[in-house]
Amino acid sequence: MMYWDEETTEESFIVPEDVIDLQFRISCPTLPVDHAWALAQAIQQHLPWFMQEPRAGLHLIHGAESGNGWERPEDQDALLHLSKRTPLILRLPAELADAAAKLVGSTLDIDGHPMEIQGIRQKPLAMTRFLYARHIAADPDLPEELFIAWAVDELKQMGLRFKKILCGKSHALESPNGPIHTRSLMVAELSYEDAVTLQEQGLGPHRALGCGLFLPQKSF
């Protein structure tokens, strides 16, 4: 299902660093496929503000099975096998970077899978015109066309300019309050400024569980 707007815009833009991706070097051979809640809780133990901070987000970790982010293993009991280069990434306001750096040197317990936090570096948000989110929290009973209509309305209320929206697969993330149903979403041909705004603000709830966060998509 696709939304298409023929009007185009093009502009150059310098990426601000009010919001950043904080990338941690980790040692973690395996993780459960569905690790959102366990990882968020493990981070919360070391950063007590994390899950209460509305501007804080967690990029869920995807192994080789997940391809470009639109696929993931279907068996929620399966394990992801991580390479030594796989990072843990938090999206945070820049002023929280020093507080989050306290994770370095700690070992997180994610459902019995230890994750050693070994180093840190900051990355600016992407300068791109194509973004996707692996997980946007959504009502499981909402048809695709209504989900897209909702997304279009939300993005326009944010004042964003874009040309295409594409809805992807549905997933469910487990939590103590029941499954969180999500859909993937691509937003194409944004202006650079609006792409940064969308990365900064995200879409929908559950940022600390990996929902609503947008990443660059290299091809459409």
Domain count, the chain: 2
CATH of the domain at 62: 3.30.70.1890
Per-residue tokens: 120 = 């840190």
Phi, psi of 208 (to 5 degrees): -70, -15
Do 120 and 25 lie in one domain? The reply is yes
Same domain (yes/no): 41, 86: yes
64 and 93 in a single domain? The answer is yes
Which of 109, 124, 139 is where one domain is finished? 124
Q: What is d(CA 15, CA 18) in angstroms, rounded to the nearest whole number?
A: 9
Average pLDDT, the chain: 88
Output the pLDDT for position 110.
95
Same domain, 89 and 134: no
- Say yes or no: 85 and 171 in one domain: no
pLDDT at residue 96, as a whole number: 97
Distance CA 208, CA 145 (A): 27
Could you list the residue range(s) of the whole structural domain that residue 46 is in?
19-124
pLDDT in tens, 142-197: 999 999 999 999 999 999 999 999 998 899 999 999 999 999 999 999 999 999 99
Tens digits of residue pLDDT in 87-100: 999 999 999 999 99
% of the chain at pLDDT higher than 70: 86
Confidence (pLDDT) at 7: 45
Same domain, 104 and 132: no
The string of pLDDT tens digits covering residues 39-55 is 999 999 999 999 999 99
Q: Helix, strand, coil % (nearest 5) of the chain?
A: 25, 35, 40
Report the SS3 class of residue 38. Answer: helix
Same domain, 44 and 131: no
What is the rounded CA–CA span in Å between residue 80 and residue 30? Answer: 5
Choosing from 83, 105, 124, the residue where a domain stops is 124
Please indicate, yes or no, whether residues 112 and 138 belong to a single structural domain of this protein: no
150 shares a domain with 71? no
| 158 shares its domain with 186 | yes
120 and 131 fall within a common domain:
no
In this structure, the answer to whether residues 200 and 105 fall within a common structural domain is: no
Domain of 174, CATH number, reads 3.30.70.1210
Q: Under 8 Å CB-to-CB from 136, ≥6 apart: which residues?
A: 151, 182, 183, 184, 185, 203, 204, 211, 212
Task: Classify residue 164 by burial, with Cβ atoms within 10 Å: 0-12, 13-18, 19+.
Answer: middle
Of 89, 124, 159, the position where a domain reaches its end is 124
Task: Count CA within 13 A, CB hemisphere, residue 118.
Answer: 11
Residue 16's pLDDT band (cuts 50, 70, 90): confident
CA–CA distance, 116 with 219 (Å, rounded to integer): 33
